[in-house]
Chain A
Amino acid sequence: MTSTTDPQEYQEKASVPVVALQQAGKSYARKPVLRDVNWQVQAGECWGIIGPNGSGKTTLLQLISGIERPDTGKVMLAGQDIGSYSRRRIARFTAVLGQEGLAPLHYPVREVLAMGRYPYQSWLGRDELDTADELIDQIMDRLDLRSLADRPLDQLSGGQRQRVAFGKVMAQQPKLLLLDEPTTYLDIAYQIHFMEWLDEWRRESGITIIAVLHDLNLAARYCDRLLALNEGQAVQAGTPQQLMQEETIRRLFQVEPAIVHHPDIHVPQLLLKRQ
């Protein structure tokens, strides 16, 4: 295989998986958190990672984002070992959105969005993309941030800050988006807004998404594939229909589920029984 020097050029070679884990494992203080994970993500897919607390979901994301290195096995990004990329190269390919949004800093919204352009800037701050300013404007329009453009982050609500974080990730123009429980602190209206923005963005740009989601119903509605983790191992991968089975959920989370079908969109949804 010819070596892909820049992950930006990757999209043309669609046969290479965006992310591939080969026997990947990670331990903290000799305690294994992830073991022998084999998993492939193809371009344009949207994966939800589900599993109980402590099953290794966040660690899996950290391996894929290159923040942590695997102790055993390999993590491949766009066909190459992730260790061979610089941070800047990774940031041009992968963006990460966490649950906390952004710290309440005294930076205006527009400046924070512009920080998403960092991996494309020369050391003098010049952007490769001549239309970077217009890009930021478009993102602000789309996320209803225009009226907040000059307000500092520390004067915004948690939901607004999460929107800014989302905008910053869009400004990064990634091929791969990693989400770590992005809707945890959002009310239900914002959750739906958020997932709809995401879906729209995905349909426009063909971006690949890997999302850790606690809310299984959200995962079943917006992801086309699910990966179930338990005690550091990948126990099952498949479509929401395949994974959202009462037996699977019972084994994974030790709860009594009832699976129903969403009246409009025909995806399995989960109700919980009292124990």
Chain B
Amino acid sequence: MSRAAALPVLLFIVVLAISFVLTTGIGSVYIPAGQITRILLHHLPFMQQWVVPDWSTASEQIMLKIRMPRVVLSMLVGAALGVAGAAFQGVLRNPLADPFTLGVSSGASVGAAVLIFTGYQYSLLGGWTLPLVAFATGMITLYGVLMLAREQGRIPTNSLILSGVVMQSFLGAIVSFLASMSEGSVNEIIFWTMGSLSLRGWPYVVVMLPYVLAGMLFLWSQSRAMNLLALGEREAAHLGLPVDRTKMLVLIVATLITAAAVSVSGVIAFVGLVVPHMIRLLVGSDYRLLIPLSALGGGIFLMWADTVARTVLSPTEIPLGVVTAFVGAPFFAYLLHRYKKQQSK
């Protein structure tokens, strides 16, 4: 990558680091940023003798055991959704494509809804039951959509998008049905479909991290292919790209990391659709830059969105998907407006 491209990446990394420290501090017990930095440094090897502990063990516990895993997880989920969204828009060459285009969110929702409805969500594997089942049903849905869209070994973009839409409305109907049939004043199914990161500890981070990281690296490695696809599928084929295979691989990997995110967080709309577009307005549409910045941007965006979700009406939590749409849509509108003004100058 060129040197000019390194600057925005660096800038985003700095913003990510600052956001990380600030969002970790915000909550019912406020922890100052300086203290967070010192606690972090204290836990780094070779740094212990330089940083003298002057904080209470309580705040250290809150920070390390409660806040940090949640902030890190929100970062991971945001990054996964951001990159997956950029990848979907890249290979489908459709600005409205998002990580849920192939129906993986509704597939995962059906799995989750059935479990919650039947009361089996803590059976067999305890807290892991729901994420694993949601992941599995998400993948089954992906398979179904791909089979539905296939025509003589090829997967035309239009039938793929249509298959996804059909699958989503069908599965969405099942989820709505189960939600309307289930009793209880606080409807857990509805809440799940609106996304949340509450009560997710380090184990979720540990499971997700290598998986999502590998997926994102793969998608980054395909960024030159996505640049070629922007010229059109035929043109890309003439330049030596095996178009069908590339499309397929990118869609599957993007859906895999989406499914991983959805299975721990529920459905968080908007991130995958809008973050890549925001990045596009800022730096243009070179995927070599767009993919890593969508990861960083998605991470930053969701860290703050989750902070809003857990603090604004504390102790009540606002569903994360509601916050992302509520905060994200106006911000996107503002960016679009500014961009249009720039263009007309």
Contacts and interface: CB of A to CB of B under 8 A. Distances in A.
B230 interface: yes
Given A105-B285, A106-B285, A125-B224, A119 B230 contact: no
A33 to B, nearest CB: 17
Contact of A65 (B224, B230, B238, B285): B238
Contacts of A105: 230-231, 285
A95 B285 contact: no
Instruction: With a 10 A CB-CB cut-off, give which of B232, B237, B239, B240 has the most chain A CB atoms.
Output: B240
A199 B288 CA distance: 36
A118 B237 CA distance: 11
A136 B234 CA distance: 23
B221 A123 contact: yes
Question: What does DSSP make chain A's interface, helix, strand, loop or mixed?
Answer: mixed
B239 A115 contact: yes
A172 B234 CA distance: 16
Interface in A81-113: 86-92, 94-96, 98, 102-103, 105-107, 111-112
B231 A115 contact: yes
A87 B228 contact: no
Interface in B224-264: 224, 227-228, 230-232, 234-235, 237-243
B244 to A, nearest CB: 10
B152 to A, nearest CB: 11
Interface residues of A, number: 29
Nearest to B243: A87
B286 A92 contact: no
B239 A91 contact: yes
Interface string A225-251: 000000000000000000000000000
B285 to A, nearest CB: 6
B227 A115 contact: yes
Contacts of A89: 240
A103 B224 contact: no
Q: Interface size class for chain B?
A: 20 to 34
B32 interface: no
A116 interface: yes
B34 interface: no
B156 interface: no
Contacts of A91: 238-241
Given A105-B230, A105-B231, A111 B238 contact: no
Nearest to A86: B242
Given A103-B231, A103-B232, A118-B228, A67 B237 contact: yes
Interface in A111-137: 111-112, 115-116, 118-119, 121, 123, 125
B53 interface: no
A152 B343 CA distance: 13
Contacts of A152: 284
A86 B231 CA distance: 20
A206 B113 CA distance: 66
B235 A102 contact: yes
A125 B222 CA distance: 10
A107 B240 contact: no
Contacts of A102: 231, 235
Nearest to B240: A91
Contacts of B238: 65, 67, 91, 94-96
B344 to A, nearest CB: 14
A98 B237 CA distance: 13
9 contacts: A86-B242, A102-B231, A103-B232, A105-B285, A107-B227, A115-B227, A118-B224, A118-B228, A152-B284
Given A115-B227, A118-B224, A118-B228, 5 more contacts: A65-B238, A87-B242, A111-B227, A121-B224, A125-B288
